[in-house]
A and B are shown apart, each in its own frame.
Chain A
Amino acid sequence: MSGIIKSEPFVINIGPQHPSTHGVFRIKATVDGEKVIDAEMVMGYLHRSMEKLAEERTYTQNIPFTDRTDYLSSMSNNLGYCLAVEKLAGIEVPPRGNAIRVIMAELQRLASHCMAVGAFANDTGAWQTPVMWAFREREKILDIFEVTSGARLTCNYMRIGGVAFDLRPEFEPMVRRVLREFPPFIDEMEGLLSGNEIFIARTRGVGVLSPEMAINSSLSGPMLRGSGIAWDIRKADPYCGYEQYDFDIPIGYNGDSYDRFIVRLEEMRQSLKIIQQALDGLPGGPFRTEVPLALRPPKGEAYARIESPRGELGYYLVSDESPAPYRFHIRPPSFINLSALKEMTVGGTVADAIVVLGSIDIVVGEIDR
């Protein structure tokens, strides 16, 4: 039959306005029928030139910027930036500050993974039920953030040398409630999706990344772990005292979208474990080292990274002894995780491309900065 029916490839724009691109992101896919034969990413619709703006502001003034990069995990972004400045200026954080940071970062990971898992299920076509369940749980965490920092999404809570405010008395019962109510939710999610034949058919073997490819493409976070590579900055390069806590690194089998999904679900369990330990052993004392508002770190450079929900979030700062950073570079995990998008989507169908994009868990604010 081949050759009788004449067909030619055509270009289809997935995005910038599309229900499944998680923001204004665009894949220019060349398709032959339903099969993707070429995929090109177009981004920058949300570019705000943060790296340039940050060069004009003091180190403390830059903390709110980091909220706006990855708006689904602002705590982690604050933390990464503050760690970089602390490394640059040689500031020690008191133990209570570190423990609060760990709790906040892990709560943020829970909230962000809720969003990732729910949106991913939505991309596979589970019509909004998983995403609504995930949002229900995420609300509880956002309430905790609101109580503690006054904001739900862009928290601006971490400070250079510690955190902005001490914990309020309501904090602990609220976190205990999350610790109590989260495991049933994760089990529920697993029951709904992990064993679902349709879900497995849609995600298993879709967007397979070999471990070599995953490493060579500079991927990080659940993308890397999904391919079976045991790598977690929290273990490998502990910050904020992560070495005190006992937790496991979940790793996948084949590096497909399904593995990334189950890795995220398991990471939520591990996060709960860390929060439990940190909350039980929450030390007293000061929560912040006093640092001058117009901090002038010594001349030099520093690269500090954390394990953000999406992967390795690094901040590269260069100081010239002025109150503003000379160079402020973000290593955005969801931007670099897209490096292998073309390799994962080409050869699949349009529906697969959506699933792959959902499994990467991009946040466009972070891609475009």
Chain B
Amino acid sequence: MTRELTGSEAAALAEALVPGSVARTSETACYLKPEMLVETLRALRDDPAANLVHLTNLCGVDYWDHFEVVYHIQSFEKNHLACFKVEAWGREKPEVPSVTPVYHGAWMQECEAYDLFGIRFTGHPNLYRILLWEGYPGWPLRKDFLAMPGGLQPGLGEFAGVARRQEPPVKVVE
């Protein structure tokens, strides 16, 4: 049975390898400092006690005031799953270091997070919009997607050549 590490357990693993890498912990996740993310994950991957070798899942979440990038990392030999998070503040240009140098499997998932959230992963070898096309206005999975400068509307009116409905932009409710 896979043991899902709690936030403090994951933090203890990370702190033991790279002191000062943990920003805070929550019940399920350990928040890492963005500037030390790559270093910490590399240490966790290579350490036999942590053995976090398989970056299972990587996704972004939009919390209005900040973005979180969630990393679920699996150990095969120890059979535990750790959840790390990194926060990116600011809606204009949120930036998170890319973990592609550590986990090759991250590159597509980071591209996806960039495509749908607009989170820029610095150090990514080839960050491009993997699902949507280049030049697509806005970042669809953001909560304020419909109120974005692209002037997008629900329905099919957002494509070029189709007259846009003259309605006020959707009001964002906090």
Q: Establish whether A and B are touching in the complex (CB under 8 Å).
A: yes
Using a CB–CB cutoff of 8 Å, the interface residues on chain A facing chain B are: 43-44, 47, 49, 51-52, 213, 215-220, 229, 231, 236-238, 243, 300-301, 303, 305, 312, 314, 316, 318, 326-327, 329, 331, 335-336, 338-340, 368-369
B104 pairs with A44, CB closer than 8 A: no
B57 pairs with A316, CB closer than 8 A: yes
Report the minimum CB–CB distance from A179 to chain B (whole Å): 29
Q: Which residue of B is nearest A318, CB measured?
A: B61
Tell me the complex Cα distance, A224–B2, Å: 18
A238 pairs with B56, CB closer than 8 A: no
Question: In this complex, which of A51, A216, A236 has the most chain B Cβ atoms within 10 angstroms of its Cβ?
Answer: A216
Given A52-B141, A238-B1, A316-B70, 14 more contacts at CB 8 Å? A215-B53, A217-B105, A218-B105, A219-B105, A220-B56, A231-B76, A236-B1, A303-B83, A331-B56, A335-B112, A336-B105, A336-B108, A368-B131, A369-B131
B132 pairs with A215, CB closer than 8 A: no
Q: Which residues of A contact B141 (CB under 8 A)?
A: 51-52
| B30 within 8 A of partner (CB) | no
B105 pairs with A216, CB closer than 8 A: yes
B83-125 with Cβ < 8 A to chain A: 83, 103-109, 112, 116
| B6 within 8 A of partner (CB) | no
Contacts A238-B1, A339-B108 known; A314 to B140 CB distance under 8 Å? no
Q: Which residues of A contact B57 (CB under 8 A)?
A: 303, 314, 316, 329, 331
Q: Which residue of A is nearest B116, CB measured?
A: A51
Report the minimum CB–CB distance from B148 to chain A (whole Å): 13
Tell me the complex Cα distance, A238–B2, Å: 8
Tell me the complex Cα distance, A301–B112, Å: 20
Contacts A44-B133, A303-B83 known; A237 to B2 CB distance under 8 Å? yes
Question: In this complex, which of B29, B59, B106 has the most chain A Cβ atoms within 10 angstroms of its Cβ?
Answer: B59
How many residue pairs link A and B with beta carbons under 8 A? The number is 88
B28-44 CB mask vs A (1 if < 8 Å, else 0) is: 11000000000000000
Q: Which residues of B contact A44 (CB under 8 A)?
A: 130-133
B76 pairs with A215, CB closer than 8 A: yes
Tell me the complex Cα distance, A367–B141, Å: 17
Tell me the complex Cα distance, A314–B76, Å: 17
A316 pairs with B28, CB closer than 8 A: no
- Across chains A and B, which 9 residue pairs bring their CB atoms closest together, nearest first? A218-B105, A237-B2, A44-B131, A329-B59, A217-B105, A331-B57, A339-B105, A47-B131, A216-B104
The contact of B2 among A47, A236, A300, by CB within 8 Å, is A236
Q: Which residues of A contact B61 (CB under 8 A)?
A: 318, 326-327, 329
Tell me the complex Cα distance, A314–B112, Å: 16
A216 pairs with B53, CB closer than 8 A: yes
Using a CB–CB cutoff of 8 Å, the interface residues on chain B facing chain A are: 1-2, 27-29, 53-57, 59, 61-62, 70, 72, 76, 79, 81, 83, 103-109, 112, 116, 130-133, 140-141, 145
Tell me the complex Cα distance, A216–B52, Å: 10
Tell me the complex Cα distance, A312–B109, Å: 15
Report the minimum CB–CB distance from B28 to chain A (whole Å): 6
Tell me the complex Cα distance, A213–B59, Å: 21
A52 pairs with B53, CB closer than 8 A: no
B140 pairs with A49, CB closer than 8 A: yes
Q: Which residues of A contact B109 (CB under 8 A)?
A: 218, 336
Report the minimum CB–CB distance from A184 to chain B (whole Å): 35
Q: Which residue of B is nearest A339, CB measured?
A: B105
Report the minimum CB–CB distance from B82 to chain A (whole Å): 11
A216 pairs with B103, CB closer than 8 A: yes
Q: Which residue of A is nearest B4, CB measured?
A: A303
A305 pairs with B131, CB closer than 8 A: no
Tell me the complex Cα distance, A326–B142, Å: 11
Q: Which residues of B contact A216 (CB under 8 A)?
A: 53, 103-105
Report the minimum CB–CB distance from B1 to chain A (whole Å): 6
Q: Which residues of B contact A49 (CB under 8 A)?
A: 140
Q: Which residue of B is nearest A45, CB measured?
A: B131
Q: Which residues of A contact B132 (CB under 8 A)?
A: 44, 47
Tell me the complex Cα distance, A340–B100, Å: 13
B107 pairs with A339, CB closer than 8 A: yes
B76 pairs with A335, CB closer than 8 A: no
The contact of A303 among B72, B106, B133, by CB within 8 Å, is B72
A229 pairs with B1, CB closer than 8 A: no
The contact of B106 among A218, A301, A314, by CB within 8 Å, is A218
28 contacts between A and B (CB under 8 A): A43-B130, A44-B132, A44-B133, A52-B116, A216-B53, A216-B103, A218-B54, A218-B55, A218-B104, A218-B109, A219-B105, A237-B79, A300-B27, A300-B28, A301-B29, A303-B72, A314-B57, A314-B72, A316-B57, A316-B70, A326-B61, A327-B61, A331-B59, A336-B105, A336-B109, A339-B105, A340-B104, A369-B131
